[in-house]
Amino acid sequence: MEPIFLLDGERQLTATQVGGKAVALATLLKEGVRLPKTACLTTAAYRQFLHINGLSEKIQLELNTKEFSDMRWEEIWDISLRIRQLFLTTRLPTPLAATIHRFIAAEFGDVPLAVRSSATEEDAANASFAGLHDSYLNIRSREQLERAIRKVWASLWSDKALLYRQELQLSVGASAMAVVIQELLPATVSGVGFTHDPLDQHRMVIEAVHGLNQGLVDGDVQPDRYRLKREDHDLIDHLGPEARDRYAISSLEQGEGIEIASLPPEKASQEPLDRQKLATLVQTMARLEARFATPLDIEWCWAHDELHILQARPITAAAGERTDRRAWYLSLHRSFENLLSLWQTIEQQMLPAMEGEFEVMAAVVLTDLADQELAAAIRHRSARLSHWSKQYWDDCIPFAHGVRLFGEIFNEVMTPADPYQFVSLLSGEEMLSTRRNSMLHSLADQVRSRPEIGRQYTAGGFATIEDAGFCRGLLELEHQFGNFFRTQQAESEDSRDNLMKVILQYARLERTGEKQHQPARLELEHQFLTSLSESPLNMDGGQLLALARASYRLRDDDNVYMGKIEQQLALAVAEGRRRLVAAGYAKLKLATPEELAALLVGEQVELPEQLRQRAKSGPERERGGSPRTGQPAVRARQLPGQPASRGFCRATARVIEQPEQMAEFKAGEVLVVDSIDPNMTFLAPLAAGIVERRGGMLIHGAIIAREYGIPCVTGVSGVTGYIRTGDLVSVDGYLGLVIVEGGGASAAGTA
Amino acid sequence: MQRQEADVRRRIAQVLESQKLAVLATQRNGQPYSSLMAFAHTPDLARIVVATGRATRKHMNLLEEPRVSLLIDTRSNTEMDFHAAAAVTVIGEALPLPEEEQETYTSLYLRHHPYLERFLEAPSTVMFLIKVHHYLIVNRFQSVMELHLEHGTDIFA
C-alpha cells in the first residue's frame, strides 16, 4: 500500500492501516455521502518516521521512568511535552516528505487543508476518542503541512490521550497514528448533530454556527440548538445562543489556523440553518444512522451550497462514567479565548473576594465570641473553605493550562534543546511567596546587623526580644502571611519562636542579591516574539505571554490565598478546641471542625475511643520505605523522578512530615517532603535542593526552586519512606535523580 | 600470524557490534563492584567510551582506581550458550574524557545509543574513555584468545 492515497469507496481498509477515522470516512464515501476531498497518510508512514529516527526507544524511556499508574496528571503532561518535543525537532525522512508533497500538489493544488488525526483505536464503537487527538486547519505551505503531520502524530502521546488509553487499558505502545488530509471547505454554516440526544433518546439534537466548525468544537462560539423528534423529524424547539455575535473563519493571509471574528450584522440576526437546510441535514443524519446501525455523532458543514459530512462516529455505547472522565481530561485543555476569560474571573473576582473574606475573618477576635458564635464561625469558615476549594478545581486548575499552552507554542516556534526553556520567560514575576521570603530576608538582615536580637532570643525566646522595630516586622509578616506552622496555635509564643528559628537560619545565608534574570530574559522574550510573528501561527504573542505569566504567577498565588482561608479556619478550630479542653473534653485531636462546632453548642457527638487515622484529605501518601527504626534491609540508592529545576547538590537531607519540623530546617540542607504546600515554600531559600514525592514541573516546589536556582527533583515515589533526616543525598536536577548515601542515623544534624 | 590476528580482531569486533550493554568492573579498597553500562567502541578497538552520573559509586571508584575490566557477551540464556556464545573481556584504563575529544566520542556514543541523548547532555553526566590494554575472547566453551593492543606483561604478572 502506498503511504498516501485518496480515499474512495472502493478499497478495503482496516483501522490498523489507516486509523478509525479514515475507515469511517471511506464507509461514508461508499454510501455516496458528499465529503471534502480526502487523502490518508497511513500508519506505516508514522512507523517509518519512528523507526528511521530511533524515536520508539526515546518515547519508551520517557514513559517508563516510573509506574504509569503512580504518575499524576501533571507528570504525564510533562512527559507528553517532552515526547511532543521529539516529534517537533525531528524531520520527516526525505523520501517520505517528497512523496507527500508530490501527492498533495497533484491532488489538492494550493487549496487550504485540514490535517486530522486517525488513530488506530479512534472511533471504535466501544470508546470515543473525540477531541483527544489534534487537528490543524488552514494549512497552506509545505512547511506547515510537515509540521501539522508531526503534531498530529505527536498527539497520539498527548497527556489526555495517554490517560484515556490507560483508563481503557489500551496499550500505548501498540497504537499508531494515521493522518487524514482534507480540503478545508469555505463553510458558511457548520455544526454537529447527534442522532440520539444524549438526554432523551426520542430526540435528535443539532448544534449549528455560522462559519467553520472549530469555533463550536472549541467552545468559543455559542451555537443555535435545534431539537427534533426522531420519529417524524418535527422540530420540537430552537434555542438561540445568548449572543450570536462571533464566528470562526480561516485566516485569509498566510497564517495557519482559524480566527474568531465578529459576525457581520446581517448574519447575526439570522439563524444559521433555515428550515430547508435543517430538513436536508436531518434526513441525511437519519440515513447514516440506519446505514451504520448505531447512533451517530456527525460533524457537517454547508459549502458551495451543498451539505458536506466532515465525520461521523458512533456515540459511545458505554456513556456514563467513561465519558465523564474524558470530559474532565478534555476540560484541562482550554482554548486561548477560554483562558482569557478564566483569567478575568480569577484575578478580578475570585482572588479579591477571597482576600475580602480573609480580612473579615481576620478582624474577628475569636476569644470574644460566645460559644454559639464560635461554633457558627467554625461552620462558616469550613463552608467557605469548601466553596473556594471547589472554585479552585473549577477555575484555577484549568487556568494552569495557560502555562502549558504557552510552553507548547514556545517549543513549536523556538524548538529549544531544553523543552522547559519557556519557564525562564515566565519566572521572575513577583509572586506572593517570593515577597514573603524577601520579608524574611530583611528580618534576617536585622538579626545580622543587631546581634543582640539573636542573643535575646536564645536566652528567653521571642518574648524577650527588645528590638521594637524587629518585633513589629515579625508581627507584620505574620499578619500578611498567616501562621507558618499550622498545627501550632497562630500568634502563639511557640509559633513565633519557630519563626525566629527560621529567621536565624536565613541570617546564616550569604546575601548574593536577587537573581539577575532580566537581560537574558528580555533577549529570549524578544526572540520568541519575533519568531512567533514570523511563524504562520496566528497568535498575538504579547497577549499570549501576558496570559502565560498570569497563569504561572497565579498557580502559586491562588494557593497562598487558599492557605489564608485555611489558616482562619484553623484559628477558629484551635480556639474551639482550647475551650472544649478547658471544659474537660478529651480525644479531640482528630475531631473534625463540624464535630468541634457541634460540641461547642452542646450537641452529642460520638468521638472515637481510640485514636483513629482519618483518611487524609490531601494527596494520598505513599509508603515506599521500610520501618523507620534501625537500618532497613531494603535501602534506596538511586531514586528516579523528574528533573524539575536544573542543578546538582550533595548535602544532608531533612525529611519534613509535620509542620513544626520546618522550624528545625537548617540552611544548606536538602528539603525532602511528600508535597510542598505553598506555606512551606519559605524553606526554599534555605535549601540546597528540594526533593518531592508529588510530581510535575509546575508544582510549587518546582516553581520556587527554579526561582531560587536550586536543584529540584519531583515525582520520586515513596521518597519520604526511603530517605531519613541526616542521610547524605545528591540531588541531580538535570536528570531527575536522587542518590542516597545514607548515614542518617549517625549523621543527623546540620550540614 | 597476521591472519590469526585479523580473525581475532574480527570476532571481537563482531561481539562488540552486536551488543548494546557491557558489565563494567571497578573496585574500591579491594572491594570489586560491577555495573551494567551502555558502551560504544572505536573501529580500531583501541578505545571504548561509557557514561555515568557523577554521584554514582562507579564514578567515585573510577576516579580512585582507573584500572577497569569490561565483560561483553552474546549469551541468549539458553543451553546453546555453552557452545555458541562468545564473551569478550576487556582490560584497560578509564579516564575522564578530555574536553577536546568530547565531540568525537559523544557522536560515537550517540550513534550506538540515540535514545540516550538527554542522559548524555546532562551536566551531571560524565563520560569516561577506556584505553584498551588487551582483550580476551572466549568461545566454544573454553577456547580463549588474547589480543594485546599495548605491549606489556600480563595484568596479574
- Residue-range domain boundaries for chain A: 4-183, 189-303, 337-600, 638-747
Q: What is the ipTM of this complex?
A: 0.82
Interface touch B55/A732, C-beta < 8 Å? yes
**Are B123 and A54 in contact (CB < 8 Å)?**
no
Q: Chain A residues within 8 A (CB-CB) of chain B?
A: 53-54, 57-58, 61, 417, 637-638, 643, 646, 648, 650, 730, 732, 734-735, 737, 739
Q: Which residue of B has its CA nearest to A53?
A: B114
Query: What's the CA gap between A190 and A489, in Å, rounded?
Result: 61
pLDDT recorded at residue A368: 93
What pLDDT is attached to residue A68? 79
Mutate to test the interface with A, among B112, B115, B116 (most CBs of A within 10 A): B115
Q: Which residues of B touch A61 (CB under 8 A)?
A: 115
A648·B123 Cβ contact <8 A:
yes
Give the number of residues written for chain B.
157
Closest by Cβ to B122, choosing from A61, A734, A739:
A734
Taking contacts as CB-CB distances below 8 angstroms, the residues of chain A near B122 are: 643, 732, 734-735
> Is A735 in contact with B53 (Cβ distance < 8 A)?
yes
Task: Quote the CA–CA distance of A225 and A223 in Å, as a whole number.
Answer: 6
User: How much is the pLDDT for A306?
Assistant: 92
The list of chain A residues with pLDDT below 70 reads: 123-130, 169-173, 252-255, 316-334, 428-431, 483, 486-493, 511-519, 556, 608-633, 744-751
Whether residue B1 lies within 8 A of chain A, CB to CB, comes out as no
Helix (H), strand (E) at residue A112 = none
Q: List chain B residues with CB under 8 Å of A54.
A: 114-115
Q: Is A421 exposed, middle or buried (0-12, 13-18, 19+ CB in 10 A)?
A: middle
Residue of B nearest to A60 (CA): B115
Looking up cell 519568531 gives A531
- Cell 518585633: give the residue: A471
Contact B55 A61 (CB under 8 A): no
> Closest to A648 (Cβ–Cβ): which among B56, B118, B124?
B124
Nearest Cα residue in chain B from A734:
B122
* pLDDT tens figures, B31-46: 999 999 999 999 999 9
Cβ pairs bridging A and B (under 8 Å): 42
Query: What pLDDT score does A123 carry?
Result: 59
Closest partner residue to B56 among A54, A61, A739, by Cβ? A739
- Domains of chain B, by residue range, sit at 2-148
Closest-CA residue in chain A for B110? A54
What's the pLDDT at A745? 53
pLDDT tens sequence across B67-120: 999 999 999 999 999 989 999 999 999 999 999 999 999 999 999 999 999 899
| Yes or no, beta carbons of B114 and A734 under 8 Å apart | no
Burial A137-153 (b: 16+ CB within 10 A, else e): bbbbeeebbbbbbbbbb
- B152: contact with A, CB 8 A cutoff: no
Sign of the CA dihedral A630, A634, A637, A642? negative
Cell numbers at B61, concatenated? 571508584
Which of A54, A57, A737 shows the shortest C-beta gap to B53? A737
Work out the number of other CB atoms within 10 angstroms of the CB of residue A672: 29
Tell me if B115 and A57 make a contact (CB, 8 A cut-off). Answer: yes
A84-112 pLDDT per residue, tens: 999 999 999 999 999 999 999 999 998 99
Substitution target in A82, A86, A648, A741 with the highest count of B β-carbons within 10 Å is A648
- Orientation angle between helical segments A432-449 and A541-582, nearest 10 degrees: 70
How would CATH label the architecture of B2-148? Roll (2.30)
Helix, strand or coil, per DSSP, at residue A72? coil
Q: Which of A61, A646, A739 lies nearest to residue B55, judging by beta carbons?
A: A739
For domain A189-303, the CATH architecture is 2-Layer Sandwich (3.30)
CATH T-level assignment (fold) for domain A4-183? Dna Ligase; domain 1 (3.30.1490)
Q: Which CATH class is domain A638-747?
A: alpha beta
8 Å CB contact between A692 and A676: yes
Examine the pLDDT at B152 and tell me if it is beyond 70.
no
Which pLDDT belongs to residue A647?
A: 94
Q: For position A278, what pLDDT does the model report?
A: 93
**DSSP code per residue over chain B:** -HHHHHHHHHHHHHHHHH-SEEEEEEEETTEEEEEEEEEEE-TTSSEEEEEEETTSHHHHHHHH--EEEEEEE---SSTTHHHH--EEEEEEEEEEPPGGGHHHHHHHHHHH-GGGHHHHHSTTEEEEEEEEEEEEEEETTTEEEEEESS----TT-
Nearest-CA distance B152 → chain A (Å): 39
Which residues on chain B are in Cβ contact (under 8 Å) with A417? 121
Cα–Cα distance, B104 to A629 (Å, whole number): 50
Cell 523507526 -> residue: A51
Q: Do B124 and A417 touch (CB under 8 A)?
A: no
pLDDT at A158: 87
* Cβ <8 Å between B55 and A735: no
> Which of B 22-81 lie inside 8 A of A, CB atoms?
53-57
Answer yes or no: are the C-beta atoms of A343 and A70 closer than 8 Å.
no
CB A414 within 8 A of CB A531: yes
- Cell numbers for B54: 557523577
Whole-angstrom distance, CA of residue A151 vs CA of residue A147: 6
Comparing CB atoms, the residue among B56, B114, B123 nearest residue A734 is B123
3-class secondary-structure state, position A39: strand
What is the C-alpha to C-alpha distance for residues A422 and A404, in angstroms, rounded to an integer? Answer: 10
CB contact under 8 A, B114 and A61: no
User: Is residue B87 within 8 angstroms of chain A, CB to CB?
Assistant: no
